[in-house]
Amino acid sequence: MVQNSKVTESKRLHEVFGDYFSIGAAVNSKTIHTQRDLLSYHYNSITAENEMKFESLHPCEHHYTFEHADRLISFAKEHEMEVRGHTLVWHNQTSKWVFEQQDGNLVDRQTLLKRMQSHIETVMKRYKGQIYAWDVVNEVVSDKNEEMLRPSKWLDIVGEDFISKAFEYAHSADPNALLFYNDYNEFVPKKREKIYSMVKSLKENGTPIHGIGLQAHWNLEYPTQDLIRQGLERYASLGLQLHITELDVSVFNHDDRRTDLVEPTEALMEMQAERYEMFFNIFKEYSDVISSVTFWGAADDYTWLNDFPVRGRRNWPFPFDSNHQPKKSYWKLLDVARS
Ligand code: HAH
């Protein structure tokens, strides 16, 4: 296990970017222990990687399991961090019972909407005042060019308005919470335009939506600086807040399936540092609309990318290495903050 005491005396990330946006990390029940010192030193915001997803909180209709989520909330309180909630309505990691009646057939629209509302209310009311922003709806826009919305049980059973309903339920459960639509591949022009027009029409119809969560699962080539700028301009024109919600920088391009790398090379880490420099220069430039930047993890000893998209392959996507020591990327971030 990595020793927590090895965190260096380097400048705190959340302090150097304090004038621009909060700096967050996705955490889980393990990393709040194994990465405790790093997390409390450099970050002033956390998101639960899995612990607040539907299947984690609500495995059966009349049974909620809040223990793990509660512990993350206590961790945040203890270290004076803010919490982003992730996520209420999603096609993944959602318990099957939600969509089914006793005999295994699908429920009707009214029943599903009731269940959605009851889930959203119970979860949001429990964490009222402790979670300031929620990813209410996650990843409903399709990656396929000719398709607007991703096929899902939510869409099949309720129809398109499951999206606006989720925001309405969320707003009435906690009127003070900031409500976000969150998605990935958000800078791919075709998908960007679909996200843009969906959010635009939600806004125009009076749906309580306050921001767009840009996941930012990026790599050494994608996206280009131009795509990021075009995307930020487009999203910012909606007059909503933007949060970078799940930032990581893979050392592999998405379609690269190589599995031979057991350690990151100097050259890769150098390229990654340049990528982080470019990203944060842009985030700083757009800090009037970007109010939070969250990494989907904190240091290279743990990342979901160790299993995705290639099972068992390691990756090194963060500014801190497996021993929680600053990488070149970290030093570049300091340069950006100071420039
Ligand atoms: C995200 N999906 C989810 O929002 C998050 O909850 C999960 O822990 C990890 C990533 C991203 C995603 C992707 O980059 C590619 C295909 C599907 C989903």
Contact between residue 56 and residue 50 where contact means Cβ atoms under 8 Å apart: yes
Share of the chain above pLDDT 70, in %: 97
Q: Assess whether pLDDT exceeds 50 at residue 4.
A: yes
Environment class of 60 (CB within 10 Å of its CB; exposed 0-12, middle 13-18, buried 19+): exposed
The per-residue pLDDT for range 276-321, each reduced to its tens digit, is: 999 999 999 999 999 999 999 999 999 999 999 999 899 999 999 9
Contacts of 264 (CB under 8 A, 6+ apart): 251, 272, 300, 316
Q: Residue range 92-117: average pLDDT? A: 97
Q: Assess whether pLDDT exceeds 50 at residue 1.
A: no
The atom number, within ligand 1, closest to the CA of 50 reads 8
Ligand 1 binding pocket mutation candidate from 31, 184, 249 (most atoms within 8 A of CB): 184
The per-residue pLDDT for range 133-185, each reduced to its tens digit, is: 999 999 999 999 999 999 999 999 999 999 999 999 999 999 999 999 999 99
The per-residue pLDDT for range 252-284, each reduced to its tens digit, is: 998 999 999 999 999 999 999 999 999 999 999
Residue type, 224: T
Three-state SS sequence of 166-210: HHHHHHHHCCCCEEEEEECCCCCHHHHHHHHHHHHHHHHCCCCCC
Buried residues in 147-177 as b, exposed as e (16+ CB within 10 A): eeeeebbbbebbeeebbbbbbbbbbebbeeb
Cα(102) to centroid(ligand 1), Å: 31
Q: Is 304 a pocket residue for ligand 1 (Cβ < 6 Å)?
A: yes
The backbone torsions φ and ψ at residue 18, rounded to the nearest 5 degrees and listed phi first, read -55, -35
The per-residue pLDDT for range 201-243, each reduced to its tens digit, is: 999 999 999 999 999 999 999 999 999 999 999 999 999 999 9
Contact between residue 316 and residue 323 where contact means Cβ atoms under 8 Å apart: no
Q: Is 217 a pocket residue for ligand 1 (Cβ < 6 Å)?
A: yes
Cα(272) to centroid(ligand 1), Å: 21
How confident is the model at residue 315, as a pLDDT? 97
Angle at 23 (CA atoms; ends 20, 29), nearest 5 degrees: 165
pTM of the model: 0.96
SS3 at position 13: helix
Cα–Cα distance between 42 and 47 in angstroms, integer? 14
Q: Are strands 133-138 and 290-295 parallel, antiparallel or unpaired?
A: unpaired
pLDDT band at 5 (very low <50, low <70, confident <90, very high): very low
The atom number, within ligand 1, closest to the CA of 26 reads 8
Cα(73) to centroid(ligand 1), Å: 22
Contacts of 6 (CB under 8 A, 6+ apart): 37, 323, 324, 325
CB-CB neighbours of 195 under 10 Å: 24
Cα–Cα distance between 246 and 6 in angstroms, integer? 25
Going by C-alpha positions, the residue among 293, 213, 299, 217 that lies closest to residue 250 is 217
